[in-house]
Structure formats: C-alpha cells, structure tokens
Amino acid sequence: MLIEDYRLAFNNAGNARVSWTSDNADNVSWIYVDGGLARGPLYLGVTEREMSIPFKDGVTRAIEVHDFPDGTIVTPPIEIVPNTKPIIQWIASPTATRYKVYLTPFGESESVIYNRLAQEDKINYQLKLTKALTPGWNFIRVEAIDEFGNESVRFNWNYLVFDLPAPADNLAIVDGSGAGLFDISIT
C-alpha cells in the first residue's frame, strides 16, 4: 500500500527524516528515492514510523513510502517513464514477404529501423523500440513488400514524444509554521 501522507524534515545537508503512520505495527515498510530503494524492508514494530533517508536540501526528489502486511512482498517503485520507446504493432498482410519500418524524427532524414522477412502463419507483429526517440514529433511507417518488391504502406503513425522535465533547480523548501508544514518557493 502506498503511503501518501508522510512528513519530511531536513536533518542536515545530506539527510532528511521521513515519518508516517502505518495501519498496523506489523507492516513491513519500503522507502524509495527517485525510483531507487533507499530503505527496506523495515520491520519497525510501531505504527508511528520515522526513518532517515539521503536527501540534499534544495534538490527535487521523488519519494515513495510503501507498507505491506507481509514481509515477503517486495514492492517495486512507481515509475514515471517517458514515452520515448513506443511499441509498434501491426497486422500481417497476406501477400507480404518482408516488412520495413521507417522512422522520421521531425526535421530529420528518414531511416529504416526494421527490415525483416515476413514469418509464415504470423498474424500480429510487434516491434519494441530499443533506441529512445527524440522529443517532438516522430513519423513511423510500416511497409509490406510483396514477392515482386512492391512496397505498400501497411500502417502510419504520428508519434509525439514527451520527455520528463528536468527537476527544478531553483526550488526552495523550508520548514513551515508547524509540524509537517513546509514553505515552498521558486527562487
């Protein structure tokens, strides 16, 4: 279970205390910072929990706290993944002997990213792109080639890539007027 109500207090330049209330004293906790495991599994034996994590003041971090009743469960972090590597899928053409997939990033030259023989009795094709596409518009085209070398467009996509924004380097977080309150400002 993801804990959404936690408190953060800076100890010094390299650490912060994260505290939260667990539903059950027997729950096992996991803490992630920027998608990497920072602490866990934690068997704390109390419902009011507090743990030190690496954290520099003035740096933006993604923090996740998870509690589970069973210590054998290992939770993965929640990942926010940029959509830079789409999966291209198409349905086979009955006359195709080969398929080519073309990629054209906006303002750049077209290139072939897939060129393979068609497989007999295969109905659905799937291509997982391993190279990240550039942010902006990308044009992807699947062409089926018959036994005579004639190419025909099978599918066409306009794909807009958004990359994750860089963390704000001008964000200031200081203790607020009470416990668990912070003043956040952009400098």
* Matching fold, domains 2-79 and 87-161: yes
Q: What is the CATH number of domain 2-79?
A: 2.60.40
Q: How many helices (H) does the chain have, and how many strands (E)?
A: 0, 15
Q: pLDDT at residue 60 above 70?
A: no
pLDDT, residue 156, reads 85
Helices (H), the chain: none
For 67, how many CA atoms within 13 A lie in the half-sphere containing its CB?
21
- Residue 3: the pLDDT is 82
Classified by CATH at the fold level, domain 87-161 comes out as Immunoglobulin-like (2.60.40)
Domain ranges of the chain: 2-79, 87-161
pLDDT at 59: 65
User: pLDDT of 79-132, one tens digit each?
Assistant: 656 677 888 889 899 999 999 999 999 889 999 999 999 998 888 899 988 888
Q: What is the pTM of this model?
A: 0.49
18's tokens: 């994260």
The tens digit of pLDDT for each residue in 15-38 reads 888 888 888 888 888 888 877 788
Rounded Cα–Cα distance for residues 85 and 130 (Å): 7
By the 8 A CB rule, do 96 and 53 touch?
A: no
Reported confidence tier of residue 144, pLDDT bands at 50, 70, 90:
very high
Select the more confidently predicted residue: 2 or 167.
Answer: 2
Instruction: Tell me how far apart the alpha carbons of residues 7 and 21 are, in angstroms, rounded to a whole number.
Output: 10
Is the Cβ–Cβ distance between 157 and 139 less than 8 Å? yes
Q: In whole angstroms, what is the distance from residue 129 CA to residue 118 CA?
A: 18
Instruction: Give the integer Cα–Cα distance in Å for 48 and 25.
Output: 8
Q: What is the pLDDT of residue 99?
A: 95
- The Cα–Cα gap between 65 and 41 comes to 11
pLDDT at site 164: 62
